[in-house]
Structure 1
Amino acid sequence: MPGNIKEALACWNRDGNQSGHREGWKIVPVCNCWTIWLERNQRCFENKSCSRERMKLNCLALFYYWCKHEYPHEDEDIPRILEFLMST
C-alpha cells in the first residue's frame, strides 16, 4: 500500500504501463482527485454530499468525457479501461 500520493502515482503509472493502455490509464488518478475535490467543496461550501456510488459514477463519467476529447483515436481502449474500473 503506498504511503503518500507520490508513491500512489508511481505505482499507478507502473501498473498502467504494463496494461497496454498507457494514455487513458494516466487520466484515472486525475479524475479521482478532481472528483474528490468537487465533493469536498460541495460538502464544505454547499452542505451537500453524494454517496460513494454516485461519486464513482461521476468519476467514471468524467474519465470517459476527458478520454473522448483527449484521445479520440483510442475508442477501443476507453470501454476496456472503464469496464476494469467499474469492476473495482
Structure 2
Amino acid sequence: MKEALACWNRDGNQSGHRERWKIVPAYIWWTIWLERNQRCFESKSCSMEKMKLNYLALFYFGCKHEYPREDEAIPSILEFLMSS
C-alpha cells in the first residue's frame, strides 16, 4: 500500500491537477469500503462497471464541491480516469 501511494504521488506531481490527483486514492478506497459494507451487511453487490461509475460520481461531485471555479477541468480528468 505504501509503495502504491508513493508511485501515485510521484506520478501525480507531474500532472497539472496535483490537488485532485491526491484525493483519487481516498475516493477509490471509499468506493471499495461502501461496496464491502453492502456485500457484508445488505447481501447486495455491484458489478465492476457500477463500482467504477460510483467512484466517478463521488470524484466528480467531490471535485465540484472542493474546486467550484474549475468545473471545466473535471470532464477532462474523468475522461482520463475512464480511459485508464
Judge same fold: TM > 0.5, yes or no: yes
Post-superposition CA distance 1:48-75 (Å, at most 9, x none): 0000000000000000010000111222
Divergent runs of 4+, >3 A:
none
Post-superposition CA distance 1:36-55 (Å, at most 9, x none): 00000000010000000000
Q: What's the CA shift for 1:77?
A: 2.3
Does 2:48 match 1:56?
no
How high is the sequence identity, in percent, across the aligned residues? 81
Provide the residue aligned with 1:82 in structure 2.
78
Aligned length: 84
Which consecutive unaligned segments of at least 5 residues does structure 2 have? none
Provide the residue aligned with 1:11 in structure 2.
7
Provide the residue aligned with 2:39 in structure 1.
43
User: What TM-score results when the alignment is normalised by the length of structure 2?
Assistant: 0.94
Q: What is the alpha-carbon root mean square deviation over aligned residues? A: 0.9
Which consecutive unaligned segments of at least 5 residues does structure 1 have? none
